[in-house]
Amino acid sequence: MNRDSIIKGLAVLAAVVLVLFLGFSIVKTILNSTQDEMKVDADTPVTLDSNMALKATIDSLETTWQKIQTYSFRVNQDPLHLGRVLANFAYRKEGFKEMEEEEGIRLTATVVDDHPKAIIKFRGKSYVVQTGESIERIYRVVEITKKQVVLESGGSRIVLTNKPVKTEEESGGESDFSNSVDMETSNY
């Protein structure tokens, strides 16, 4: 080995050590600066201005939440008004029709079986009731038959009935529905 080759070998070794030292220093500096950025100073308030991705995510969540809160479901007509839906089905076949509302109450339909039920519309809401149940603690259902429902309120009885459907000759072009509530004020 000659002297020149030893000097060249030491120079290459010194260059490699210097490159490794500089690389290690750079990596250490980057890691320390990242850790310093991640540390939260107790005296400094945390804001979303420093993290734009987090700010965008929170803004989109808030917008979605506001849309959900302002959403409302509306229909133009009562979907439970069974007179429209069943007019050509059950009422016509049986020969009965529902009564129009008088004082906000109307008999929509009756189902007579082992446990008779009635659908009564009161103040814009439809109630499915059985004998003994009440409607908004105002009316108590006393009896349910094929053509009528007897309600009791404050000692008086109200009879809601399904009226026979008039033929076109009988109705004279009038509506299929009529206003009729039989009120009996005597106590039974």
- pLDDT at position 72 is 80
Structure token digits, residue 129? 């009731």
* HEC profile of 73-128: CCCCCCCCCHHHHHHHHHHHHHCEECCCCECCEEEEEEECCCCCEEEEEECCEEEE
Judge whether residue 188 has pLDDT over 50: no
Q: Tens digits of per-residue pLDDT, 123-178?
A: 878 889 999 999 988 899 999 998 899 999 888 898 998 766 555 555 554 444 44
Number of residues in the chain = 188
Phi and psi (nearest 5°) for 83?
A: -60, -35
User: Which pTM does this prediction carry?
Assistant: 0.37
Cα–Cα distance measured from residue 43 to residue 51, given in angstroms and rounded to the nearest whole number: 19
Judge whether residue 114 has pLDDT over 90: no
